[in-house]
Amino acid sequence: MRKHSKEYLENLTPYQGYEILVEGNQRFVENLSVNHDHLELINQTREGQYPFAVILSCMDSRTSVELIFDQGLGDLFSIRIAGNIVNNDIIASIEYAVKYVGSKVLMVLGHTECGAIKSAKAGVEDGHITDLLKRIQPSISKAMLKDEHDHMFTDNVAYANVENSLEEILTRSSIVKDMFEKGEIGLVGGVYNIETGKVDFFKNLTKSKKKQQLAAKV
């Protein structure tokens, strides 16, 4: 079955999509990236796109999701904004990806040493940046309640910020919430370490094939 096809995407489970991301990051960390023939990928995707995942991440130049997860043209919807915050346009883009294209995984990816988080902590106010940083303040408050050993990387605000974005998407989008509750899509939260290249997939709300079978019997 051709990877960049509607049939491939329809037969892919959310858990399998999650596994593709995990395996891709492992290749990235080990510098074992597959050979992406970009010209061939252009040919394969010229008539349509069927990305298996939509990823909301920070605009930081070190966090390109196609590289971090070793994916090629047509594999991912990439939504990037400082601090991986959520707004109406981002939610609309996510809804388009999961409902109208069929992406099976919705991931929010934060990262260590995030400039937006540092600025929010410092109370920076300047132009439109002020309003954006206000969206991160709840994550700072939430992170203060967590032990620094709760996570793989000692950056609790980055983790809290990912959690808050996932929660906000579910709260504000009835489309995403409904598809998630039906098991049509999976949600994943991760934090990328800019020093090692490794992603901590700390929240995996997808079902393996075995769990799906058990759920069907209940």
Annotated binding site for Zn(2+): 58, 60, 111, 114
| 55: number of Cβ within 10 Å | 28
Binding residues: 58, 60, 111, 114
Edge-first strand listing for the sheet containing 199-205: 76-80, 53-57, 105-111, 186-192, 199-205
Paired strand residues for 110: 191
Angstrom distances, CA of residue 89 to CA of 4, 101, 110, 177, 200: 26, 17, 19, 17, 27
How many Cβ atoms are within 10 Å of 209's Cβ, its own excluded?
Answer: 10
Q: Which of 85, 79, 112 is nearest to 98 (CA)?
A: 79
Q: Are strands 186-192 and 199-205 parallel, antiparallel or unpaired?
A: antiparallel
β-pairing verdict for 105-111 and 53-57 = parallel
Give the up-direction half-sphere exposure of residue 50: CA atoms within 13 A in the CB hemisphere.
16
